[in-house]
Chains A and B, each alone.
Chain A
Amino acid sequence: MEKIDFEKFKKLFLQEADEQLEVMEKAVMELEENGENRKVIDEFFRMAHSLKGSAGSMGYSAIADLTHQMENVLDKLRNNPGSLNDDITDLLFISIDTLKHLRENVEKDIPEEENPDIQHILERFQDFISIETDGKKKANVEKKIQLTSQELKNLKEKAGENNVLLLCFELIQQQEMQSMMAFLVLNNLKDEGEIVKTFPHHLEEVEGDLPYFSILICTEKKEEDLVKLVEQTLDREEFKVFSLEDIEQGKASDYFQEIKENFSRRDESRDSIRVDIEKVDQLMKLVGELVIDKERLLEISKNIKANSRENSEAQALLQTIPHVDFIATELHESVMDIRMYPVGSIFKRFPRLVRDISKQTGKDIHLEFSGEDTELDRTILQEVFDPLVHLLRNAIDHGIEAPSQREKSGKPSRGTVALNAWQEENNIVIEVKDDGAGIDPEKIKTRALEKGLVTEAQLEEMDQESILELIMEPGFSTSETVNDLSGRGVGMDVVRTNIEKLDGEVEISSEKGNGTSIKIVLPLTLAIVQALMVREKGNDYAIPLSAIFETIAVNGQNYKEVIKTVKNREVVVWRDQVIPLIRLSEFFLLGDSHQEGFLIIGGVKGRMMAIMVEAVIGEQEIVIKSLGDFLGKDKLFGEIPGISGATIKGNGEVALILDIQGILKSFKKGGEAIER
């Protein structure tokens, strides 16, 4: 192989290996969590097999050897159902870790002979495989429907006089809000007996699409009565009922298998191609340029319109430009759509993390997901991974109590951490929710006072939410205070900073004793937004429309009505609210402000302010760019207060984008906008 070619193949190999490793990791998680599952093992086997193949042909023998052994063990597992145990899952975990390490070495071009010694791992595989050939076979059908043998035993005991029935639903007709139909059915069934288990877990909290779900119920009622009850909400063909016997004989799990296959087949039938993400980014950049040129064309066409009614060429041009405008917008949306990734793609990296943290902390954690299909711009998704890791770690480490503690407070000893995602208008919300101890506002108050972050008087005026938000203030918490405060403050300021960089927000709610929910609210996409262009002292600034409520022209006539002075500070009375006035020229130290101009009423999260500018130029689509590699937080020339980025105007010059949140903040902090 020539050098160039080799590099290309290597890149492809690494790319595929990442995906294969991810699937394998997920598979082993699932095996550990839910027990043996033929489909998972098959998938796992397939991944190990293809990784073995490509590693072999690239000459990465350590990876090939290890995957070969994994393949063997998985094959044994397939042929001997019921032989899965913790030793095997542990060994598989270790193997995947080792594979990851080996994969790193490939990327760094570390020669094969310098790889870590994997002989001891290979030997452990040998041990397992030889023991199994001794032929210990156990029939193991019950695990397939994801009931542990203990659960089944309990069910059998209960079943004495009662009926244990598994209702499996497949919603055909209900197109919208399927989860609500599930909620309705579940609610109706609740009065008829004990709901033992649902699939998905916490069925009552799921929202959105839910074509399949199941309810396991223990009831005194007869099967046909239960069927009649369900028929009050669903058609008979939309659900199947299985008895305990059916479950034991594997009939229910066969049914599950069937619908799962149907479902995944539906997903896979779409044609797709694989594209290097760099190409998409390049495409996005070009579209960004196109949008800028389009805005420029629109500007030019305004001038042409006035001057050239007679000129037919000019008229033809004027007819073409709106079409270009339309195409550019459509193109932009299409490319944006390519960039959208399901949040599930990062969620699936968490089970492993949670498993590790649970082991470290000795806490028993159940991790749940919902809304994995919710899509978010790839760039944002990448940036949000670390903050999420942080939040998860906090939730487990400090939110969820120790098992003994939980039992004392009457909670199940196993704590639950849920990762939920959903879309809310133009935002995507990702929530990390735990059923742990919650945050004690009193402790936060004490701490904030100690640290001098707030005064007693300020605390008096703060609502619950603002008090909780104090944990995100820099300097709120240090590591030695971790335990007395559930440590929620550790690094929360970093989380907030990172999310705000993405134009997002962090919301905290918590109930002492009942857990905490932290929501990350993110814009759907970052790159292009609608903005209002304003002018001050010869410079143009863009303000994202999402942060603007209204613009008010101020002149000699209404000046005194609109702008008042309270306690030596200028304020604006807007819709019965008194909001602070910030004069842009003063905030930016550009010189004296003016009496006439425009007030931009804007704000975020209910905090409002009015910004006084000289002129309003108009609305426009802008492509958001950074201020480059040197200006900004932690860059050489530092952060620019009140500026969040830049965009390129129709004439090719740069306009700065105002950071409404930042301006509000510096106003809130200093009491005064200008730090001279």
Chain B
Amino acid sequence: MSAKVLVVDDASFMRLNLKNILESEGFEIIGEGTNGQEAIKLYQAERPDVVTMDITMPEMDGLAAMEKIIEMDPQAKIIMVSAMGQETYIKKAILKGAKNFIVKPFKKEKIVETLNKVLAS
């Protein structure tokens, strides 16, 4: 059974990019969120195996959304997607329970590998 992924990013380019990569590797994209609020709703509804969560987003940022999701489901596997220079956010996310992180711009191999590692844990 292929793993179910929720992709959260405010940039449609980024979502498409992730979707292409992940689908070509046999992952199933069960939803795309464009901000933190949407991410929470989609998580509740779909219960994905893993979430890729952008940090900087309008309305509710990835950090807050991640916290809310972990509150609902302490087992949630969330990978933060960050730009260079967001060390502080990543640190916070890790402390709050994010399983891993990816730095934009990322290579295809890197993201697949990270997802697999997190799913295996």
Q: Do chains A and B touch in the complex (CB under 8 A)?
A: yes
Binding site for B on A (CB under 8 A): 173, 175-177, 179-180, 183-184, 187, 204, 207, 231-233
From B84, which residue of chain A is reached at the shortest CB distance?
Answer: A176
Whether, in the assembled complex, B101 has its beta carbon less than 8 Å from a beta carbon of chain A, the answer is yes
Q: Which of B74-90 contact A (CB under 8 A)?
A: 82, 84, 87, 90
Q: Which of B32-90 contact A (CB under 8 A)?
A: 82, 84, 87, 90
B84 with A177: CB separation less than 8 A: yes
A381–B101 CA distance with the chains assembled, in angstroms: 35
From B98, which residue of chain A is reached at the shortest CB distance?
Answer: A184
Whether, in the assembled complex, B117 has its beta carbon less than 8 Å from a beta carbon of chain A, the answer is yes
Give the residues in chain A near B117, CB-CB below 8 Å: 231-233
* A173 and B90 contact, Cβ closer than 8 Å, known pairs A184-B100, A231-B117, A232-B121: no
Whether, in the assembled complex, B94 has its beta carbon less than 8 Å from a beta carbon of chain A, the answer is yes
A187 with B100: CB separation less than 8 A: no
Partner of B94, one of A173, A175, A183, A231: A183
Whether, in the assembled complex, B1 has its beta carbon less than 8 Å from a beta carbon of chain A, the answer is no
B100 with A207: CB separation less than 8 A: no
Binding site for A on B (CB under 8 A): 82, 84, 87, 90-91, 94-95, 99-101, 103, 110, 113, 117-118, 120-121
Extra contacts besides A177-B82, A231-B117, A232-B99 (11): CB < 8 Å: A177-B101, A179-B87, A180-B90, A183-B91, A183-B94, A184-B94, A187-B95, A232-B117, A232-B120, A233-B100, A233-B117
Give the residues in chain B near A175, CB-CB below 8 Å: 103
A233–B90 CA distance with the chains assembled, in angstroms: 15
Give the residues in chain A near B101, CB-CB below 8 Å: 177, 180, 184
Instruction: For residue B100, give the distance in angstroms from its CB to the closest CB of chain A.
Output: 6
A180 with B110: CB separation less than 8 A: no
Give the residues in chain A near B103, CB-CB below 8 Å: 175-177
B91 with A180: CB separation less than 8 A: yes
Instruction: For residue B5, give the distance in angstroms from its CB to the closest CB of chain A.
Output: 18
From B118, which residue of chain A is reached at the shortest CB distance?
Answer: A232
Instruction: For residue B9, give the distance in angstroms from its CB to the closest CB of chain A.
Output: 18
A177–B91 CA distance with the chains assembled, in angstroms: 11
Give the residues in chain A near B113, CB-CB below 8 Å: 173
* A173 and B110 contact, Cβ closer than 8 Å, known pairs A187-B94, A207-B87: yes
Partner of A183, one of B82, B90, B110: B90
A360–B3 CA distance with the chains assembled, in angstroms: 63
A177 with B94: CB separation less than 8 A: no
Instruction: For residue A524, give the distance in angstroms from its CB to the closest CB of chain B.
Output: 16
A185–B103 CA distance with the chains assembled, in angstroms: 16
A217–B62 CA distance with the chains assembled, in angstroms: 32
A176–B85 CA distance with the chains assembled, in angstroms: 10
7 closest residue pairs by CB, A with B: A232-B121, A176-B103, A180-B90, A207-B87, A187-B94, A184-B94, A177-B103
A435–B100 CA distance with the chains assembled, in angstroms: 30
Instruction: For residue B108, give the distance in angstroms from its CB to the closest CB of chain A.
Output: 13
Instruction: For residue B68, give the distance in angstroms from its CB to the closest CB of chain A.
Output: 20
A331–B90 CA distance with the chains assembled, in angstroms: 38
| 6 residue pairs from A and B, CB less than 8 Å apart | A177-B82, A180-B90, A183-B91, A184-B101, A207-B87, A232-B120
Instruction: For residue B113, give the distance in angstroms from its CB to the closest CB of chain A.
Output: 8
Give the residues in chain B near A173, CB-CB below 8 Å: 110, 113
A177 with B110: CB separation less than 8 A: no
A232–B94 CA distance with the chains assembled, in angstroms: 14
A126–B121 CA distance with the chains assembled, in angstroms: 62
A184–B87 CA distance with the chains assembled, in angstroms: 11
From A190, which residue of chain B is reached at the shortest CB distance?
Answer: B95
Instruction: For residue B57, give the distance in angstroms from its CB to the closest CB of chain A.
Output: 20
Give the residues in chain A near B95, CB-CB below 8 Å: 187
Instruction: For residue B62, give the distance in angstroms from its CB to the closest CB of chain A.
Output: 15
Give the residues in chain A near B87, CB-CB below 8 Å: 177, 179-180, 207
Instruction: For residue A305, give the distance in angstroms from its CB to the closest CB of chain B.
Output: 40
A177 with B100: CB separation less than 8 A: no
A72–B110 CA distance with the chains assembled, in angstroms: 53
Instruction: For residue B52, give the distance in angstroms from its CB to the closest CB of chain A.
Output: 16
A175–B120 CA distance with the chains assembled, in angstroms: 22
Most buried by B among A176, A204, A231: A176
Instruction: For residue B95, give the distance in angstroms from its CB to the closest CB of chain A.
Output: 7
From A181, which residue of chain B is reached at the shortest CB distance?
Answer: B101
Give the residues in chain B near A179, CB-CB below 8 Å: 87
Instruction: For residue B3, give the distance in angstroms from its CB to the closest CB of chain A.
Output: 15
Instruction: For residue B119, give the distance in angstroms from its CB to the closest CB of chain A.
Output: 10
Instruction: For residue B111, give the distance in angstroms from its CB to the closest CB of chain A.
Output: 12
